[in-house]
Structure 1
Amino acid sequence: MHHGKYRFVIGLLLIPLGLYAVFVVSPYLQAFPIAFTDWEGLSASYRYIGFDNFVTLFHDPVFWVALRHNLFLLVSLPTVIVTLSLFFSAILNYRGGIPGAKFYKVVYFFPSVLSIAVVGVLWQFIFEPRSGLLNGFLRAIGLGDLANLWLGGRDTALASIMAVVVWGGVGFYVVLFTAAMAAIPKELYEAALLDGASPLQSFFRITLPLIWNTVQVAIAFLVIGALDQFALIKVLSVGPGGPGDATQVISLYMYTNAFSYGKFGYASAIGVTLFALNMILTLLTFRLTRRERVVY
């Protein structure tokens, strides 16, 4: 009986795991040896050039610009998204849940179900400087001086894309944190209320410590996401990566080197470097956010 069950489970997992190994794990592993070659992607011949790609990468000014942008996103995205998600989740769960909480969860989560291409095109229309909704709204309420190029301005392009990432990401974490908060026993809040604790004190003394494991996982996901930002920047940015590398990030620079310049060896070196940064920063995030587990 049990042997048949295991065969059935293995049969179900064999095809998806095989596809994952071929199309995800295998390209990752192949990137490591390719990073030490001058392979151009379309030829069968290549030369091993040692660490030349990594030396070139170290002296590449565009890579350092892209890394600086990734680090900016690494700090800002988790901070803004986690803060907003905790705020909205706390409101939705206030005193057992506000009226219409389920409806608001759907509204918050809705951007998460849209494809990145749809989100990108939608916000292109909103940010369009001449007839876009944002500048049109600012002019309509008498704030035309605040109208800007947004995606076309060096000073506003990255912040505009970051705003779209926040808009699309908050809803998922609102649902995640709301579910975690709903599992906290109501008796703890009642006891705190009897002791004279304010809602703010209850949040920081009860809610946040009890859902910290969930917050820690969310921060780790957002750190990885900040380093892997690609699709939305590819769709929204001018160039892409512009104007003037104002929205250049490591993933986009890797893609451009591979598929625009034919430097697959160099692009693989960028990918290996990004992989190392991801691993180091993810482990560092878990280390820095680790707290003693609270049991209730």
Structure 2
Amino acid sequence: MRKGQYRFVAGFLFAPVSLYLIFVIWPYVQTFGYSLTDWKGQSQTFKFIGLDNYKALFQDDVFMQAVWHNILFLIFIPVITILLALFFAFMLNAGGRSKAGGVGGVAGSQFYKVVYFFPQVLSLAIVAVLFNAVYRSDGGGLLNGILIKLGLVDAENPVEWLNEPNLVLWMLLIAVVWHGVGFYLVLFSAAMQSIPRDIYEAALIDGAGRNQSFFRITLPLLWDTVQTAWVYLGIVAMDMFVLVSSMTQNMGAYGGGPDHHSDVMSTVMMRNFQYFGKSGYACAMGVVMLLLTLVLSVVMLRATRRDRVEF
């Protein structure tokens, strides 16, 4: 490369790299620095305390319980969302049979794509409002209303879906999956469109059914897309702040009720940062969240790595 070209490339990259360092990397560095202090958040005077905040984290029962909740979300959110999205995408793109005897989606597949994608256009705040109405702990709630009409629940004693320690996490999980399936359905559908129909038609001629077509053709050829979806959903599972703080907001600062049974790391962090004034301690939680997210992303990418299937 000529000398002038080096200067051109350096000049072209200088502005974006500088902005990235200032607005992305530097806040991470600052957060780690504050995590080593007893910073209270409202003053610029603080004392260096080393790793004391990190030691306190592992003795904090609330935070460790929140970590376990994030792990549960990390297990179930990607698995359920990807399985449902893959199933619906396959049925809408290759699960039916066209009138000409070829391969196509089920009848009305274009309409179903719009219906499934509709939740994705809603913000998480709106999703929280909708599901708060669904989970209302009286007969006016959609879920309790249906169960009362069917005679499965007593009208005088309806189920408090978001106030039951054994139910609240699953109720939040349902809301996340409902919101996310449509996006990944469209993602997988776009990937399926690139698979030549000749492959499906050849398998059809050989007598392959829907299950064989899915597991022997669709899934191997979509594996890179599934891997990407897994990482993104893992990041969603490590956050969950908006839904937890919105749907359980009447049970304590930044949600987490009942009795911390729906707390996640982000809600515990925000509660310590703004409610208890333990900003240095909250920064240590943020650093731990960052490291866990990076580690889990790398682990998921390596665990799901396989030889690429080409066509």
Distance in 2, Cα, partners of 1:143 & 1:16: 60
Structure 1, residues 126-160: CA drift from partner, whole Å, max 9, x if none?
A: 11111211101111122225941001111111110
Distance in 2, Cα, partners of 1:98 & 1:203: 15
Q: 1:292 aligns to what SS in structure 2?
A: coil
Q: 1:76 aligns to what SS in structure 2?
A: helix
What pairs up with 1:70-85 in 2 under 5 angstroms? 70-85=70-85
Please state if 1:66 is matched with 2:66.
Answer: yes
State the match for 2:38 in structure 1.
Answer: 38
What pairs up with 1:112-123 in 2 under 5 angstroms? 112-123=120-131
State the match for 1:184 in structure 2.
Answer: 195
The structural deviation recorded for 1:58 is 1.2
Please state if 1:126 is matched with 2:134.
Answer: yes
| Larger proportion of helix | 1
Distance in 2, Cα, partners of 1:206 & 1:117: 38
Structure 2 gaps of 5+ residues are 96-102
Please state if 1:292 is matched with 2:272.
Answer: no
| RMSD (Å) for aligned C-alpha atoms | 2.2
1:281 to 284, 296, 302: 296
- With normalisation by structure 2, the TM-score equals 0.88
Please state if 1:96 is matched with 2:111.
Answer: no
The structural deviation recorded for 1:10 is 5.7
Q: 1:144 aligns to what SS in structure 2?
A: coil
CA 17–104 in structure 1, closer or farther in 2 if over 3 Å, else same? farther
Distance in 2, Cα, partners of 1:162 & 1:200: 27
2:166 to 155, 163, 176: 155
The structural deviation recorded for 1:193 is 1.3
Distance in 1, Cα, partners of 2:176 & 2:12: 38
**Residue identity matched to 1:119:** V
Q: 1:150 aligns to what SS in structure 2?
A: coil
Structure 1 gaps of 5+ residues are none
Q: 2:162 aligns to what SS in structure 1?
A: helix
Distance in 2, Cα, partners of 1:125 & 1:16: 45
Please state if 1:138 is matched with 2:147.
Answer: yes
State the match for 2:262 in structure 1.
Answer: 247
Q: 2:240 aligns to what SS in structure 1?
A: coil
Structure 1, residues 228-278: CA drift from partner, whole Å, max 9, x if none?
A: 121111100132111011101111111111011111100010111111111
Distance in 2, Cα, partners of 1:17 & 1:170: 37
State the match for 1:199 in structure 2.
Answer: 210
Aligned residues: 289
Distance in 1, Cα, partners of 2:21 & 2:166: 42
Structure 1, residues 197-248: CA drift from partner, whole Å, max 9, x if none?
A: 1110111000000010000000111111111121111100132111011101
State the match for 2:99 in structure 1.
Answer: none
Distance in 1, Cα, partners of 2:18 & 2:120: 26
Please state if 1:213 is matched with 2:224.
Answer: yes
Higher mean displacement: 60-69 or 21-30: 21-30
Distance in 1, Cα, partners of 2:285 & 2:168: 24
The structural deviation recorded for 1:98 is 2.6
The structural deviation recorded for 1:28 is 2.2
The structural deviation recorded for 1:99 is 3.1
**Residue identity matched to 1:107:** V
Structure 1, residues 151-208: CA drift from partner, whole Å, max 9, x if none?
A: 1111111110111001001110000011111111011111111211111011100000
State the match for 1:48 in structure 2.
Answer: 48
The structural deviation recorded for 1:24 is 4.2
CA 211–150 in structure 1, closer or farther in 2 if over 3 Å, else same? same
**Residue identity matched to 1:266:** Y
